[in-house]
Structures are given as C-alpha cells and as structure tokens.
Amino acid sequence: MGAGLVGTYVGGRLAAAGVPVTFIGRANLGSAWAAHGLTLSDLDGGRWALPSLNWHTQVPREEAPPALVLLCVKSAATAEAAAQLGQCLPPGTCVVSLQNGVDNASIAQQHAPQLLVLPGMVPFNVARAEPSRLHQGTSGQLMAADQPALRAWLPVFAQAGLPLALRADMPAVQWAKLLLNLNNPVNALSGLPLRAQLLDRDWRRCTAALMAEALQVLARAHQPLARLTPLPPRWLPALLRAPTPVFRLLAARMLRIDDEARSSMADDLRLGRPPEIDALCGAVVRLGQRLGVPTPRNQAMLDALSGPGPLQASTGAAWRHRLI
Ligand SMILES: NC(=O)c1ccc[n+]([C@@H]2O[C@H](COP(=O)([O-])OP(=O)(O)OC[C@H]3O[C@@H](n4cnc5c(N)ncnc54)[C@H](OP(=O)(O)O)[C@@H]3O)[C@@H](O)[C@H]2O)c1
C-alpha cells in the first residue's frame, strides 16, 4: 500500500521470489512500469527483473484479501491510506508500517481500528536510479515488531534476500532510526549525494547538532535506543564532528553507500513536494516540548522545510551556518 520507492522495492523483491504481490500506488508509476517492466538492483550487484507488476490504484475488492499488507506511504498520507485499508480488508488483517518516524503505526491503527497494525523499519536507502530501475543504495536488515502474526513470514523474507528481524523493542529501533534520519533534511539542503555530504565535515556538523538535541530529549524521556550502527547512538554526534580522515576510518560501514544515493527528501525539495520533516524533526520538537527540553535546531529545520515551494541549494548553504 503506497507503492513508491520502498513499497515497490520491498514488494518487488518479494514478487521476484515468487510471492504474489499486489501493488497499490499512483497511476503514473504503475503505467510506466507496466509498459517497460521494472528492474530492482542493490549495492552488492544484485539485479531482479520484473516483467510486469499487479498494479492497482485502489485496494482491489475483487482479489482475495492479502495475508500481509506493507504500508509504505509517506507519513502525511498514513491516515488516509489506513482508512482506505480499513474499509476494504477483513478485520484482523496484519499491516506492517515500513515507514520512518515513530508514530505512523499508531496513526494507522487509529484510522483502521479493526486491522492489526505493527511497526516496521527499513534501514536502507531506495532511489529511482533510472526510470525503470529502483536501486537499494545502502545495506541493513528489515525489522518489525515481534508478533506471532509475522513469524510465518520470516522464511519468505529470507528467501527474497531481505531477511526480517522481529524485535521486542520497536520504539527503541524506531527512535534510533529517527536519529539517523535526522541526516535526511541535511542531505536535502546540501544538494549533494549522500556519500559526498557525509564526507563534508560542515554538513556532518549540522546532522550532529540535530542529533545531539534529539539525544538530550531522548535521555530526558528515558527512551532506550537500539544499536543500528557499529557505534552506540550516543556516540554519533562526536563521530560526525570528527575530522574527515578520522570519520572515514571509524564510519567505514556508514560510508558503504553508492556514489549516487541521496535522501528521497532531496527529491521532495527539488520537486516542491512536502518533505516528511514533521515525522522526524517534528517528533523531536514535540517530545522536547512535552519534557521541557529546548530543541531550537530541530525547530529551525522543521520551519525551514515546512515552508511552501522548492528550496534552492543556496538556501541550504545559508542554513548550514544556522545549524552548526
Ligand atoms: N526511500 C527510502 O530510501 C526510504 C528508506 C527507508 C524508509 N523510508 C520511509 O518509507 C516511507 C515511504 O517512502 P518512499 O520514499 O517509498 O515514498 P514514496 O516514493 O513517495 O512512495 C509512497 C507512494 O505512495 C503513494 N500514495 C500515497 N497515498 C496513497 C494512497 N492512498 N493510495 C495509493 N498510493 C498512495 C504516493 O503517491 P503521492 O506522492 O502522489 O502521494 C507515493 O507514490 C516513508 O515513511 C519513508 O520515510 C524511505
């Protein structure tokens, strides 16, 4: 549900492994991929060709109900997409939110109370490398809440080459992912590919500043953080602020990124689409407000990216000095 970059990539990898997948997404994407087929690729050189996709623009009532739904819309579309699922699917249908942010599964659950909505997490980056090719540009393991409804799916995801880890600590996983996602708006403002931006110390300092604020809020909230990177989350700001040669050495795995990978928020800004900033910096600001911890840099980023119209690269450079 919401077959864009993540939904079509994860759904496509399952389809390539023989799982019958129904893609629900926009007509423009569906018709392009229906006409030319779709190729999926990853940073290890993997390639999967899908000659056709079972594409719909709405939840098809004529098909048998799905055994599992992957909810993959951007955060602003969660309520509407969940309500559509709720109107069409049998009670108890399992829906996994593969979205960033920490609130999407509960928002979806509120709008589809009779479904079983579980939080999930996609650690890697997916970009549209060519009109008919989606590319996974970084690595990492899919995660979701450890619920009996998902256990039968473990061999299916493993067979598709996207092993799924079931976790009892999803809030810790989601907040740790959100912390890493605080680089998304910085990457978008930089106008640079992800790798080039991470190799620029001043841009890294911006991300470090946003993360340091978020870590203060999370410490006040006594929110545990899962370890998604070789270094513990609390060390990330210091790692990012390190001189670039030191960063290169210590962050070798973080830098295992294709040269062209960039945050999809960069595309959102370039195309004048609303970026998913409220689910990231907005979540930090809201938690900070609740706990009385100031978050001026996350607020500034939220304000900068919530405004109307596409931002220019020069605007990004100006913002860099306000964030460091
Ligand atoms: N891209 C990544 O590398 C990545 C990695 C990890 C996690 N994530 C997270 O995954 C989620 C999805 O990101 P994405 O990059 O895949 O976004 P995306 O490419 O924008 O995909 C979402 C798609 O769903 C469509 N959509 C929205 N509402 C719909 C509805 N009711 N019915 C059918 N289609 C609908 C959107 O169309 P419109 O644009 O027309 O609304 C869009 O084509 C986000 O929470 C993101 O943070 C992304």
CB 261 less than 6 A from any atom of ligand 1: no
Looking up tokens 């619920």 gives 147
State yes or no: pLDDT of 255 exceeds 80. no
User: Which residue out of 53, 73, 135 has the highest number of ligand 1 atoms within 8 Å of its CB and is therefore the one to mutate?
Assistant: 73
* Ligand 1 nearest-atom number relative to CA 24: 33
d(CA 228, CA 68): 25
Cα of 124 vs centre of ligand 1, distance in Å, is 14
Which residue's alpha carbon is nearest to atom 26 within ligand 1? 2
d(CA 280, CA 182): 7
* Ligand 1 nearest-atom number relative to CA 184: 47
State yes or no: pLDDT of 308 exceeds 80. no
CB 194 less than 6 A from any atom of ligand 1: no
Cα of 249 vs centre of ligand 1, distance in Å, is 34
Amino acid in the structure at residue 85: L
* Percentage of residues in the chain having pLDDT higher than 90: 79
| pLDDT value, residue 268 | 87
For the stretch 25-55, pLDDT in tens is 999 999 889 778 999 999 999 999 999 999 9
d(CA 141, CA 71): 17
Query: By three-state DSSP, how is residue 160 classified?
Result: coil
- C-alpha count within 13 angstroms, C-beta hemisphere, residue 188: 27
Any residues with CB less than 8 A from the CB of 192 and at least 6 apart, and which?
A: 200, 203, 262
State yes or no: pLDDT of 313 exceeds 60. no
State yes or no: pLDDT of 279 exceeds 60. yes
Ranked by mean pLDDT, the top range of 154-168, 184-198, 298-312 is 154-168
Pair 266, 187: CB distance under 8 Å: yes
For the stretch 69-121, pLDDT in tens is 999 999 999 999 999 999 999 999 999 999 999 999 999 999 999 999 999 99
State yes or no: pLDDT of 309 exceeds 70. no
Pair 82, 71: CB distance under 8 Å: yes
CB 26 less than 6 A from any atom of ligand 1: yes
CB 278 less than 6 A from any atom of ligand 1: no
Interior angle at CA 277, CA 212 and CA 13, nearest 5: 105
For the stretch 189-215, pLDDT in tens is 998 989 999 999 999 999 999 999 999
Banded pLDDT at 311 (limits 50, 70, 90):
low
Q: Which of 114-123, 267-276, 292-301 has the lowest mean pLDDT?
A: 267-276
* Ligand 1 nearest-atom number relative to CA 6: 16
**Average pLDDT in the chain:** 93
d(CA 131, CA 148): 38
